[in-house]
Structure 1
Amino acid sequence: MDHHSYSHAPHEHSHHEGPSAVFRLSAATVLNIGITTAEVIGGLLSGSLALLSDALHNLSDSLSLILSAVAQKVSSRSRNRRKTFGYQRAGIVAALINSVLLIAVSVFLLQEAVVRFFNPQPVQGFIVLVTAAIGLVGNLVSALFLHHHAHESLNVRSSFLHLLADTLASGAVLIGGVVIFYTHWYWLDAGLSLAISLYIFIEVYRLLKTTVNILMQGAPQGFNIAELEAAVRKIPQVFNIHHVHVWSLDEHEQFLEAHLNLNTDLPVSQTQAVLAEVGRLVKEQFHITHSTFQVEYECCPGVGAIVEEAR
């Protein structure tokens, strides 16, 4: 008969960036709405597709920033009996929506740029220059607002990448406005719009890949389950580890579930000591913030396997 017990390694929930991040996201949103308005007016007056593309991108960013601010606030709520893992993944869901929105915008702009490239339209270079300069300064300030928190939250990072792309796009449009003003190379406007669209698409790919992996409960990037299994088996009382599941709750917390086969039928007090040792090992060497182990003395189906492979 199997003997079962559970070990819960200490884990912490980090929300230190919450209130400050919400304030910065809100400030960036106000700035972004102002930039969008200026670029729409400038784009219509000048006939610039690149400027209107940047305006549309900024509009999507404004919506994304609002979504991120709401998600950041929700994710700071404490866990309860219905949400036993808490609300940390609200930010991950927001990052996913932001990423999908960015891809949709980039595809639309790409299509419009290709059409305009083969049918260039006259553009008022001076209006483009002035409006792009306003957008550049505004986007740069907004990006600086979020830079600190971009390293701590995928949600904030997605918004930061939005604003960084906007800053680079405004810079490119500014340079394009200068060139068009002096050379009348109207095809350059469509070329810039094309480049902006491709840049957005490429930048969002890595963020989307990470976000989907978390939501699919995949193992964290670079995590080596075989190394974890080998390290745990070095503990004298452990014979085998199997049915291993590793996933991330968000970008900060990593969870582990596994079955442990012990060499001998130990009393509960000694079993707890073994579990504590295994918990410390996976936390210190593999950065697992929460671990749960089912202890067994006799074998169970799947013993000897680290992960059940799909057939």
Structure 2
Amino acid sequence: MWGRLKHAVTPHSHDHADAIRTADEASAVGIRAAWISLAGMGATALLQIGIVWLSGSVALLADTLHNLGHLATTIPLIIAFRLGRRSPTRRYSYGFGRAEDLVGLVIGAVIALSAGLIVWESIRALSTQRDMTHLGWVLAAAVVGAVGNEVVAVYRIRAGRRIGSAALVAEGHHARTDALTSLAVIFGVVGAWMGLPWVDPVIGLLIAAVVIGVLISSMRTVLRRLMDGVEPEILDRLEDAAATVPGVLGVSRARARWSGHRLETDLAIRVDPALSVEAGHDLAHTVDDHLHRHVPHLGPATVHIAPAAALRPEP
């Protein structure tokens, strides 16, 4: 039961064919997901701003600030997707895919800023008693925020995983945190109804703690990609796919790195020393085609060939 529940709230695909394999199509999916979620979050944030102004709820203010942070980071993400579609130049010979990873850092900075504002407002509310009003509207805004953000989260996470975008997945998890924090606002409303006004700012502090947790988790992935880190399973998949091609006697080196939502890789394969240059060239193309059919999100792949007796494993 727990496994099914976890699968439901953290959608993913077991089918590698579900991954989008062309760079242009992947970027188009990312841009569309960003625009659609931007519209959904914008509508939710506008509703919450009005109710915060009427009610004075710190917990709802914290949730609203978090939503506004999402709006601020979605535009740079769209720009990064568009930059990634540009052709390489003499100055940027590897293309502009790294722009997406850099936007991940911007997203982290905005998340950290929103957490700081939430803590500041919550501490002020604890030191200065405030009377909450329009509690029914606050409760309604919390429910709308929870549903709206969860819909955006599911959409972003699914789109991000389909195209291999760490930045888009991070934004999806950020939206899911918003959904949870919107539910937390309900406790603040219940506390106010029970004559416990301190519950609202305490919920604000709890929201800030959750936001910081999301920040740490998201930035770990973004920083790993900026440092050219990949999941070891990716290298295993590359090596296994290359080794199954007839004529490949072994794989002595496999390297890969993310550039935005596309993988770049180079392999060194061992072949029969008697293989002609032309046959080796054809074999390298065959391996390249095989890798692109079996490894999701794969972009440029470089295949080096050498006689089996001459090639030695590299450190």
Q: What TM-score, normalized to structure 2?
A: 0.72
Report whether the alignment pairs 1:158 with 2:170: yes
Report whether the alignment pairs 1:106 with 2:115: yes
Aligned length: 285
Q: 2: CA distance between counterparts of 1:172 and 1:283? A: 45
Report whether the alignment pairs 1:223 with 2:223: no
1:127 to 122, 131, 134: 134
1:37 to 24, 32, 49: 49
1:68-147 maps to which residues of 2 (within 5 A)?
A: 68-75=77-84, 77-82=85-90, 83-110=92-119, 113=122, 115=123, 119=126, 121-138=128-145, 140-141=147-148, 143-145=150-152, 147=154
1:169 paired residue number = 181
The answer as to whether partners of 1:18 and 1:73 remain within 8 angstroms in 2 is no
1:60 paired residue number = 69
The answer as to whether partners of 2:139 and 2:185 remain within 8 angstroms in 1 is yes
2:301 to 285, 291, 296: 291
CA-CA distance at 1:265 after TM superposition: 4.4
CA-CA distance at 1:257 after TM superposition: 0.9
Please list the CA deviations of residues 37-76 of structure 1 after superposition, one character each: whole Å capped at 9, or x if unmatched. 325524xx53x4323322332332221233334334444x
SS in 1 for 2:36: helix
Report whether the alignment pairs 1:21 with 2:23: no
2:10 paired residue number = none
1:126-275 maps to which residues of 2 (within 5 A)?
A: 126-138=133-145, 140-141=147-148, 143-145=150-152, 147-153=154-160, 154=165, 155-181=167-193, 183-220=194-231, 222-225=233-236, 228-229=238-239, 232=242, 237-238=247-248, 241-251=251-261, 253-275=262-284
RMSD: 3.5
The answer as to whether partners of 1:71 and 1:91 remain within 8 angstroms in 2 is yes
The residue type equivalent to 1:102 in the other structure is I
Residues 232 and 33 (structure 1), Cα distance of their counterparts in 2 relative to 1, 3 Å cut: closer
The answer as to whether partners of 1:103 and 1:201 remain within 8 angstroms in 2 is yes
Residues 221 and 104 (structure 1), Cα distance of their counterparts in 2 relative to 1, 3 Å cut: farther
Please list the CA deviations of residues 221-260 of structure 1 after superposition, one character each: whole Å capped at 9, or x if unmatched. 63344x7557756767555544532112234x32221333
Q: Quick check: which has more Rg, 1 or 2?
A: 1
Residues 39 and 61 (structure 1), Cα distance of their counterparts in 2 relative to 1, 3 Å cut: farther
The answer as to whether partners of 1:38 and 1:131 remain within 8 angstroms in 2 is no
Residues 147 and 214 (structure 1), Cα distance of their counterparts in 2 relative to 1, 3 Å cut: same
The answer as to whether partners of 1:71 and 1:94 remain within 8 angstroms in 2 is yes
Residues 233 and 28 (structure 1), Cα distance of their counterparts in 2 relative to 1, 3 Å cut: closer
Q: Which has the higher helix share?
A: 2
CA-CA distance at 1:124 after TM superposition: 2.5
The answer as to whether partners of 1:256 and 1:290 remain within 8 angstroms in 2 is yes
Q: 1: CA distance between counterparts of 2:94 and 2:41? A: 29
With CA pairs under 8 Å and 6+ residues apart, which has the higher RCO, 1 or 2?
1
Q: 2: CA distance between counterparts of 1:193 and 1:179? A: 13
2:8 paired residue number = none
Residues 236 and 23 (structure 1), Cα distance of their counterparts in 2 relative to 1, 3 Å cut: closer
Show structure 1 runs of 5+ residues with no match: 1-10
- Identify the range of structure 1 (276-285 vs 183-192) with the bigger mean alpha-carbon deviation: 276-285
The residue type equivalent to 2:65 in the other structure is L
Q: 1: CA distance between counterparts of 2:310 and 2:50? A: 69
Q: What TM-score, normalized to structure 1?
A: 0.73
